[in-house]
Amino acid sequence: MARFSRSLSFLTDFARPRRLALFAVLATAVLPSTADARVGSYDGIWNVTFATTRGNCSSGYSVPFTVTGRRVSSAGGGRVSGTVNRGGAVAVHVSVGASHASGGGRLAGVNGAGSWKGIISGDPCSGTWQATRT
């Protein structure tokens, strides 16, 4: 019984307001916030490879995209615009000449995947994409 009383006295001592405040400040300083950890976590150049699953379009085209913050843009070749959110969900529109496509998916770590659809050289097509951060 004496041992149980000592355990309870430790808890009541710890729960004093000043100690709780100190613990909260230390925990906040030591652990990074989720928002801070994710800001810029997708930044870099992503090599995106497209595969056609429907339509008469060629497969295997690879296009580099740049991610800076929430913005997705071209890293060479064609016009690319889009966004990526903190959770990695990405939405992109690509156009090269008369061909254009829109796609969506998710980035995670150094990989990503999703689907796309568009008009490529006059043919309606759709498929999947996979990305790797270089």
The predicted-structure confidence for 50-63, as pLDDT tens digits, reads as follows 999 999 998 888 88
Q: What is the pTM of this model?
A: 0.68
Least confident of 38-42, 68-72, 120-124: 38-42
Who contacts 61 (Cβ-Cβ below 8 Å, separation ≥6)? 49, 50
What is the arithmetic mean of pLDDT over 113-134? 96
Whole-number mean pLDDT of the chain? 77
Distance CA 93, CA 120 (A): 13
pLDDT tier for residue 40 given thresholds of 50, 70 and 90: low
